[in-house]
Structures are given as structure tokens and as C-alpha cells.
Amino acid sequence: MALIVEKYGGTSVGSIERINAVAEKVSRTHAAGNQMVIVVSAMSGETNRLLEMAKEISSDMPAREADVLVSTGEQVTIALLCMALIKNGEKARSYTGGQVRIETDTSHGRARIQNIDDSRIKKDLAKGKIIVVAGFQGVDSEGNITTLGRGGSDTSAVALAAALKADECRIYTDVDGVYTADPRIVPEAHRMDQITFEEMLELSSLGAKVLQIRAVEFAGKYKVPLRVLSSFEDGPGTLISYEVGRKMERAVIAGIAHNADEAKLTITGVPDHPGVAHSILGGIAEKGINVDMIIQNIAADETTDFTFTVPRADYESAKSILAKVSDELGARGVTGDNSIAKVSIVGMGMRSHTGVADLMFATLAEEGINIKMISTSEIKVSVVIDDKYTELAVRALHKAFELDKKLQ
């Protein structure tokens, strides 16, 4: 008997019809002799709908109350799915994050899971029950409801799978696996049978929202057997592989990710002395704003220009913090651009191949796309461009790296 954790995303539980279909699917796997823990997201569009209502009241939402609000979406789907399972003759039981006791820190809206109490789930599983858990949510040590960041149900599922030492964690979504690029943008993209954990980690962190980055981190830390599949059709999906060696005939690049949710800020003419980077970024970090790419250049007059990217939602607040810092440091001024996108190529093959970055730059040049920032690591190259060229860049790179030709 295997213990399987399955997660169904928003589109997969987006209507009563879909919830009934998921219940049927779960019943079949249960009937085959497996123990089942199901994690569900809110119905598609629901989390956004709730956030929109809150924004109508205030643009500056109190974070604690925002979590009380958005966590309701998942509470609806756990109840509906359980009802559908019970109608099918199953013994099923729903749990909110707090009822399981998925304990997190108190960072509302981006909480991190610290501990999962598996005792209630284990007792119910032993009685043959199917467990349905609300994704995306937990509680802090004082019982306040927290949420894990957008796309966080993936993380709930992988963390539960790790805590329960599940035999497999299946992420069911609206695509049938991990593709070489977002299939909504690149019709020629193809599903990969396998992707290495390292590549998946990069793709997720660079914008491929098919798996939340925290979910991939958890999976790697606890070596959770993880697969991404479609809830709409049967198929093998994509396995996240922890093997170091891999078939050599693979393409150099595994995939392309894009993120049009960033903004760039520059503080110019900063007198260059030790501690400058800390003075500039200290205030940004204190506000809890994530800084991604950073570039610093020294000019001939011994001043420095300092550029970095932040999530687009934090652009205005980062800009006003920086304006104050600029005055304090006697810098020349602050400029910004909130219509940029980051496009990245990712692949383990980069470790052993040269000329990868150059092919990327040449391809973008041929399309007349200007590169505003570049950053590299061992297995990725990212560029920042005007966001209006995102789709063109992703498609051109997909072709240039021959990702349309299935190699595996």
C-alpha cells in the first residue's frame, strides 16, 4: 500500500463539475489500494477576487486580515471535494491548515512552514479515510492564520508529503507536465519526461509558475518523489529527478523561463566608499522587499551607479525609500523602470558547454531586443529587457536553442 499526496490547482477544482471529476479520480486511486492525502487550491480566480475586494477597501491591506480573507478560498474547496467524495461512498475528512496544524512563522502573505503535526492525518489514514487539506495556509505559533505566498498550495503538498514520508507527491494542474517554456507563450514547447531538481529550482525561481519555488526547495531538502501531471488527461507527466548524471544526448538548455513581474531601480552618482551597498539596500531589506539582480559600476569620477531589481508590486515603495537614501548619501538621483521583464535560459549542460550566453545575446540582437541587465550562474543566464518584447524573446530563444526538437 502506497501513501500518495496529490495536489489539485485552481483550474483543476474550478467548477462543481471539475470537483466531481477530481473526486472520481481520487476514488479510483484509493480503490487501487493507496492511502490518499489531497491538497487543494481555491477555485480558479477566487484568490484574486478576494484580493480585489480587499483592495477596494484599502490599497494598504493589513497583512493579518488579508490572510484571514484569502485563506477562505481553500476552505471552500476542501469542503466541496469532501462532499463529492462522501457522495461516492468514500470516508473523507477535510482539514484547514490550522486544524492539521501546519505551523509557520508569522510573515503574513509569505509565511514559511516550520513544522507539521501529522498525528491527526495518520490516525484518519489508518481508518481508511481520504484526507483533504487546504493548501496555501497555516497558522503561526499563536494560532493566527497565515498564507504561504501565491502558488503556495504546491508547497503545502510537498511539505505534507515530506512530513508523512509519502511514496509520491503528484502536482495535478492544467498542463500535462513541465515544458521547455510556458506552453501558453510557445506553442512549440514540449513536455519533458524528466527534469533535474537543480533545473526545476532555477526555472521556478525565474518565473515558471508551474511549481512554486518553495515547493521545489522542500522537495530537494527531503528528496520527495515529485511529479507534475494534468488533472484533465492521463499521462506520465514530468518527474523531478535527483540523479546527478543524466543522458548525455540532452540539449544544453532544459528550458526558458520569463518573469514580467519585476521592476528596476538605479541610484546614480553615489560617492564610492565602503558600506555603500549596505546603505542603499538596508532600507529596502528592512521593508521586507526582495532584491533580485544587482549591478554596481564605478565611474571615472569615483562615484558609483547602483542598479537592482525588485518585484513590480514593491516598485513605488522601493523608489521612495531610495529617494531618501539618495539625499542622505549625496547621490545624483534615482531613476526607475517598471516595464521590464526577465528572460532566462536554464540547463545543466551549460556547465560543460561554452558559447551558450553568446548565442542568447546574438539571438536577442537579431530580433533588435536591447539587453538592460545580465546575470549568470553555473546553470542559467538571465537578461532584463523591455517587457513588450517578452514573448518575442522567449520564442526566438526557444528556436535558437532548438528546444522545439524533442531530444529525449
DSSP state string for 79-119: HHHHHHHHHTT--EEEE-HHHHTEEE-S-TTS--EEEE--H
Residue 47's binding partner among Mg ion, ligand ADP, ligand ASP, none (Cβ under 5 to 8 angstroms by kind) is ligand ASP
Q: Least CB distance from residue 150 to ligand ADP, whole Å?
A: 8
Q: Least CB distance from residue 306 to Mg ion, whole Å?
A: 34
Residue 336's binding partner among Mg ion, ligand ASP, ligand ADP, none (Cβ under 5 to 8 angstroms by kind) is none
Opening angle at CA 98, ends 227 and 49, nearest 5: 75
Q: Which residues 2-21 are close enough to bind Mg ion by CB under 5 A? A: 9
Where does residue 362 rank: exposed (0-12), middle (13-18), buried (19+ CB within 10 A)?
A: exposed
Q: Least CB distance from residue 209 to ligand ADP, whole Å?
A: 5
Q: Least CB distance from residue 47 to ligand ADP, whole Å?
A: 10
Q: Which residues 311-350 are close enough to bind ligand ADP by CB under 6 A? A: none
**Per CB under 5 A, does 151 bind Mg ion?**
yes
Task: Please tell me the distance from the alpha carbon of residue 173 to that of residue 345, in angstroms, as a whole number.
Answer: 23
Q: Of 9, 97, 98, 349, which lies in the binding site for ligand ADP, with binding defined by CB under 6 A?
A: 9
What Å distances lie between residue 140 and 1, 94, 144, 145, 189, CA to CA?
34, 20, 5, 7, 41
Size of the site for ligand ASP (CB under 6 A): 13
Sign of CA dihedral 62, 65, 69, 74: positive
Residue type at 234 in one-letter notation = D
Q: Least CB distance from residue 171 to ligand ADP, whole Å?
A: 7
Sign of CA dihedral 154, 156, 161, 162: positive
Residue 379's binding partner among ligand ASP, ligand ADP, Mg ion, none (Cβ under 5 to 8 angstroms by kind) is none
**Per CB under 6 A, does 47 bind ligand ADP?**
no
How many C-beta neighbours within 10 Å does residue 173 have?
A: 24
**Per CB under 6 A, does 255 bind ligand ASP?**
no
Which grid coordinates are listed for 212?
Answer: 512554486
Q: Of 96, 173, 326, 344, which lies in the binding site for ligand ADP, with binding defined by CB under 6 A?
A: 173
Q: Least CB distance from residue 193 to ligand ADP, whole Å?
A: 13
Q: Of 151, 177, 207, 237, which lies in the binding site for ligand ASP, with binding defined by CB under 6 A?
A: 151
Task: Please tell me the distance from the alpha carbon of residue 49 to that of residue 84, in angstroms, as a whole number.
Answer: 24
Give every CB contact of residue 35 below 8 A, 6+ residues apart in sequence.
Answer: 1, 2, 3, 4, 125
Residue type at 141 in one-letter notation = S
Where does residue 68 rank: exposed (0-12), middle (13-18), buried (19+ CB within 10 A)?
A: middle
> Helix 63-70 and helix 72-87: axis angle, to 10°?
20
Binding mask 44-83 for ligand ASP (x = CB under 6 A): ---x-------------------------x----------
**Per CB under 6 A, does 209 bind ligand ADP?**
yes
Q: If residue 354 lies in a helix (H) or strand (E), which one and from where to where? A: none
**Per CB under 6 A, does 169 bind ligand ADP?**
no
**Per CB under 6 A, does 152 bind ligand ASP?**
yes
Residues binding ligand ASP (CB under 6 A): 9-10, 41-42, 47, 73, 135-136, 150-154
Residues binding Mg ion (CB under 5 A): 9, 151
Residues binding ligand ADP (CB under 6 A): 9-12, 41, 151, 173-175, 178-179, 181-184, 203, 208-210, 255
